[in-house]
A = this chain, B = another copy of it.
Amino acid sequence: MDYAKMAVDMVLKSWNIHVSRATKFFDSKTDEELLKEVAPGKNSLFYLLGHFIAVNDSMIAIFGLGERQYAHLDEAFVNNPDKSGLPMPDAATLRNDWKKSNEILAAYFTKMSPQEWHSRHNSMTDEDYAKEPSRNKLSALLNRTNHISYHLGQMVLVN
């Protein structure tokens, strides 16, 4: 049994399922519907779309894969809550960013070996990793998957 590869297959499968679910959800909404909030005064679907793009894109930096393409979304969609008044792209741009950012991540992920997935990421020190090697790039992807799941649960309440 190649346990390293099995672990990567398991987490990547879960990741891909969640990205697909989010994509289907956003695709099913009109631009106007994206402005709906998951609960009164809470995040809009539009905010969560930008939030996903920026949070997921940050893996490129954390994993040391290359240059982030969507860091410009951090201010409005990660560092600040919804309705911050900060400039945001229009819906068409954000929808396109979501598709494109997932293609970019998928292209990087395909090239990563199971050993690379199990290695330390840049938000950890060598000491962190020595103490807890199961905290690695793969577990960071697992956390990002849970993050999508958490907000998906909220998004469906808009239906």
Q: A residues engaging B (CB < 8 A)?
A: 1, 3-4, 6-7, 9-11, 13-14, 18, 38-39, 42, 114, 118, 132-136, 138-139, 142-143, 145-147, 149-154, 157
Oligomer: number of copies: 2
Q: What is the CB-to-nearest-CB distance from A43 to chain B, in angstroms, rounded to a whole number?
A: 10
Starting from the known contacts A3-B118, A149-B153, A154-B157, 20 additional A-B residue pairs (CB-CB under 8 Å) come to A1-B118, A3-B3, A3-B7, A6-B7, A6-B118, A6-B134, A7-B10, A10-B134, A10-B136, A10-B142, A14-B139, A14-B142, A18-B146, A142-B142, A146-B149, A150-B150, A150-B152, A150-B153, A153-B153, A157-B157
Q: Quick one: which of B1, B135, B154 contacts A4, CB cutoff 8 A?
A: B1
Q: Which residue of B lies closest to A8 (CB)?
A: B134
